[in-house]
Chain A
Amino acid sequence: MIWLADFWATYSTLVFSVGVHMLLALSIWLTLSCGLLSLANAAFMGIGAYVSALLTLNADWSFPAVLAAGGIAPALVALLIGAPVLRLSGVYLAMATLAFGEVVRITVLNLDITGGPEGLNGIPLATEGWHIVLLLALAVYGLTRLRRSRIGRAFEAIKEDEVAARLMGIPVDRYKLLAFVLGGFIAGIAGALNAHFTFFISPREYGFEAAVDILTMAVLGGTGSLLGPVLGAGILTLLPELLRSLHDFRSLVNGAVLVLVVLFLPKGIVGGVRRKTLGAELSTKLSTKLDQSAGKAEQNAAREAQQPSTAAPSTPLLSIRHLGKHFGGLHVLHDVSFNVPAGSIYGLIGPNGAGKTTVFNLVTGLLPPSAGQIDFQEQSLVGKAPHAITRQGVARTFQNIRLFKEMTILENVMVGMHAHLSYGAPALLLNTSTFRQAEQQARQRAYELLTWVDLHAKADQVADNLSYGDQRKLEFARALATEPRLLLLDEPVAGMNPAEKTALMAEIRAIRDRGYSVFMIEHDMRFVMGLCDRMAVLNFGRIIAEGTPEEIRSNPEVIEAYLGKEDEQ
């Protein structure tokens, strides 16, 4: 066993660094998995290292307390700067976090308490191998649990399509902040661990190079799974040791690896190891169960159908009054008023550019109205965030389909259930029966919805692979998963052939018969006339007619809008 002791004496620092780097790569994985490129993690690591080292040196705190402080301090900083910084997207976020990192580095460089450019010396050695192993194991376990829960799905949905994620009832800003703060916490712990075995820290270690190193590890391994960053960190830490003979050219390899991976392995070494959400075993179990639950679904539908009648029949489900919207000097909507009665199919038609989709964007909270009122079930929707409006029971589909393309079909639907999965963090982390039951029920309900739109056989496929018609169907199922009272459909038959249109008509009727109310925008007159109970016609931002299809068909103003004035011809 002597060789082992020798090995340890020589390489323990290296092994420790591998562990610390793995933690760092996991910390940046959190933001990357939301589609955010934040380069702040090196600075968070630095804050953790300095706070913990100063507490050890000056305040004589115990090691566990120091570690905790090393994690909490950067997490608090992340919380503070997160709200404004995370409003930025893409390269702006990368640049802002880079600037933040520079501010932190230069501040540390200039403070007396941090020892300036000399750094802090003589930090007692407190980190032991098992500390790192334990914390790394905890991080991997915690993040794995997170990834397999509604939070992991929310992260992925945000990465794929932020707007669609909001409309699935996900409070996107809060989740981004969670990823940012949690990433800061883990990076801080890594910094604290690092400070207590390297004996000495200096601002140089936490600058731009460090930020890039952390990013490289995650990109090299691939962010499609947790294994990726861990593996990437291992490789990139050990590689320079193996290449010692290259001396100054050593980091040439790091750069080349980064370029080659980006060019030839876009998903990293580990690639997109897609977890099976629905094994073959489960899917057979579900389909046998389905017969029983079909009855239950009918009951649900019946119950849902009952609900509208409990409201006074005179009060509409959605009431739009004097709605106006202008972008600068451009008036898109002007004094728009109409009511969508409960339990009906309501149509909004009008020529291109009439402002139809803007009405949807105002109702779903994606845009604030300039004037007027929008009431849903007698509660105002104006000023509410999109996710809150979804939670009140308004769901929508998009004219240009917006699915979470890299997620499976089942996962797409399960994202829609986000708001209705109410388990908390402890249940999720400890994998309690509450958590498992809730997830199992969600899976089952998602499978039912997919069965209903006839996509259940493809539940495990990635959404991007679906045909156009199937993608529309999946968007329906996903919208229904939010358990809406009112379903907004934005040009549902765009690009469909007559047979598909007829099939969809039947499906929309079936949706209505299940107790949902439908509010749709459509171009295809025959389709709308045959389907809607009532409709409104929008032209140049104004309602020019409202009534039953028969009334609309004979309205002279509508005929004029669609066919032009006779004397103009």
Chain B
Amino acid sequence: MQQKVEGYPLKEYTTKIRQIAKEALENREVTAIIGWRKKDFWWQSPVVFLEDPADVQQLVWDPFTIYSPVKFLLDWQESCAAKVGIFVKGCDSRGINRLLQDKRLERERVAVYGVPCGGKADAEKIRASFPSKEIKSVTLIGEELVLAVGEREERVKAEAYLLDKCLSCRHPNPVVYDKLVWEEVSPRQYADESRFARVQAVESLVTEERFAYWQRQFDRCIRCFACRNTCPACNCRVCIFDQAEPRWLGKANDPADTLNYHIIRAFHVAGRCFECGECERICPAGVPLQELNRKLIKGINDAYGDYEAGLDPTDVPPLGTYRGEDPAGFDES
């Protein structure tokens, strides 16, 4: 499916975002804006918080406005009584619904500006093909990535350089918003096929091979908790893994305890994870967390019917309900 948007005029989108932010701040609809800004390097477009309408010039929209700003809403709500405006991509917007469903966000206190997204770029993949020091800018136009490398312009097929999580994105358009910043885009062509591909690859291994595989992955885990910190489904006021009494999770970097952490976190987000992929993307050790979280989604879909989290904040997550005729993953005789 071709993207409906003909070209991807970066400047126009950035302008649009700045315009919306400025108006909202000037009209005092919101007292602050959460968006993205450009930092020093070409791959850095981190989250920014603005309160002064004059500062909206900092806002950008480019292939690196990846970070989900949603978790910041939790802190915002706790510290400030006023309303905040937030720009969210398709994946981010499901995080909004996640917070709403978990009653961690009051809908009236947030103005949601939905930004349909054609995908974000993977800086690692770009660096593998182009000398990083020479890259001046990267722009996504339609299906192409346009790089300004030194004096020349390079045009490549975007798909090869997008983040893995974007390749299997099923909801590029925001599912909740007060304002849609521009026209919706078409869903990614092969999203459904690739969604459980890696899960199926692991499923094809036998028990010992599976354990060896996961042992290699989790051995790298340094228990930084970045995955938990970035995940909107992990929104408890006091996380179970931070508690000392009882001590559910030990402090030592014991392989069994690391497995304990990942098993329990995956269980806690089972049926609530909306596949934004931030956990895997943000992991500094490259642990393939989506392979784990998606396995649970697949299992729940197979057993209890297809369910997508973060689409409807009024529905009931699969582990919060049951049917008398539910199948079981064990011998019920």
The answer to whether A binds B is no
